[in-house]
Structure 1
Amino acid sequence: MLIDVAIEKVKGLISFFEGYMETGFLEALEIAKEIAVEMDIGATFRKRREIKRKKQYDENPDDTNIATRSAEESFRINYFTPVVDQAISSLTRRFEQYQGYQKIFGFLFTSETLRSLDKDSLKSSCVNLEAALMKDKQSDICANDLFVELKFLQNFMPKENIGHVEILNFLKRHDCFPNASIAYRVLLTIPVKVASAERSFSKLKLLKSYMRTTMTQ
C-alpha cells in the first residue's frame, strides 16, 4: 500500500469510529443479542437490586440519576464508549507520523495536487522538502532546482489526474528531472507499517529467552 492511500484509509477508519461511537451502540446491541441467542445465552443485561435510600439535603441530583440508570445505559457509558474512544485515540497516536509525511510530501501525491499549487506555495513546499531530506548540512535535492523542474512539470505532464507511481514512470521516460525523480523515489519508499518496535522485540526472545538467562549473565 502507498503512503497516500494509507493516510486516506486511516482517516476514514477514525471518522468511522467517531460516527460509530455516536450511533453504533444500538446496532452493536442487536448483533450481540443475535449471537447470544445462537449460543443459547441470556440476551438481557443482569439487573441489580435497586437500593432505596433517603436523599440527603446536600446530594447532587446527578448522583440519583446514576443510581437509577438502566443496565443497558450503564453498559454503554462504562464500557462501549470507553472502548471505542480508546480505539480512536490509539489510531490517532500510532499514525500521527502520517501527518508529518503529508505536510512534507503531500504536494507530490497526485498530478492534480501538484498543478493546483501557485508559485509561492510550490516554492515553500520545495524548501520544506529539502530541509526534511537534509543530513549533516547536505540534502539529497536542491530546492531551487526542484522548484524549476516541478514548475515545468506542471504543464508538461498529462492532463488527466495520475498518482505518484505514474508520475515517476513518466519522469523515467524523460530523463531531465533529476531532483523530481529523487523526491518521488523517496516518497515511494516510505514504509506504511508502524509495527517495527513490536516485531524486533518479538524476535529478541529467539536469541535471549527467560530459560537461558541466569543471575551471572
Structure 2
Amino acid sequence: MSIIVRYLKFSSNSVTVEESFLGFLDVNDTMRKRLFDITGEELKSLGLEPDDMHGQGYDNGANMKGKHQGVQTRFLNENHRAFYNPCGFPSLNLTLYYMATISSKERVFLERSNSLSQMRWESRVESVKAIKLQLADVREALLEIGENDGDLAIADKATAIAENIGFDFLVSIVIWYQVLDKMNIVSKSLQSKDILLEIAIKEIRRLIDFFKEFRENGFSKAIDEAEKIAFEMGINPIFAQKRVIKRKKQSDECSSSQEASFTPLREF
C-alpha cells in the first residue's frame, strides 16, 4: 500500500500546498482493522499524529472507504476533523467504464483500440486519437497485410478489421475521441498535487455541463464530422443495416402484432 501526505508549506511570504510520497507499506492482511493499524503505526513512526490529520482520501476499495468499518471511519472515530474525500480519479474512470460497457456496440469498438479494464480509461484517448488522425493509413496498412502476409490467420484478421471500418466505426471514433479527450483533461487536473477541493468541484461541474450539451447536440455534430472523414476515405456515409430476425409468434398474439423497429440511424 502506498502512503502519500499533503500538507501546507509556510514561507516568509507564501503558503503552498505540497504533496510527498512517503513509501510503500507491506500489507499481508487487507482486513479493515489491519489496514487501519498499519497506516496509523506508520504515521506515528514518522512523527505524524492522527490527531493532526485534517483530511484523508483513498481509492474506491470498500475496506478503505467503508462508512461503517472502513479505514476512513476508524480515523474519523479518533479525529472528527479528518474529513474523508473519495479519490476523484478512480471514481471518474469507473463512471467512464460503466458508460462504455453498457453498450455492446461501444464495448466491441473499444476492445479493438485497447483491452478493457476499469482503471485509466481516460488514457485511451491517445490510442483513439492515433487511429482517428490516421484512419486512411491504418485501413491501407491492414489491407496490405491482408494481401501480402504469409500467415493466413493474420491476413484474414487484418482484412476483417479493415472491412469493419465503416460509417458506424467512424461515428464511434469521433464520439469517443471527444469524450475521452474531455475526460482526460479533468482526470489530469484531479491528479495534480496542488489541486484544491473547490477547483475539483468546478472541474467536475464543467464536465457535467459538457455531457449535458453533448447529449443535446453532440451526436449530430459527430455525424457531420464522420461524414467528412467518410467522404475523404471513399466510405459510404450510411449506417449498416441490421438484419431483422423474426421471432415466432405465440399462440395468444394476433397477426397484426408488429415488432418495434428503428432506422439504422436511430438504432445506432
Q: Fold-level match, TM-score > 0.5? A: no
Using structure 1 for the length normalisation, give the TM-score. 0.27
More helix by share: 1
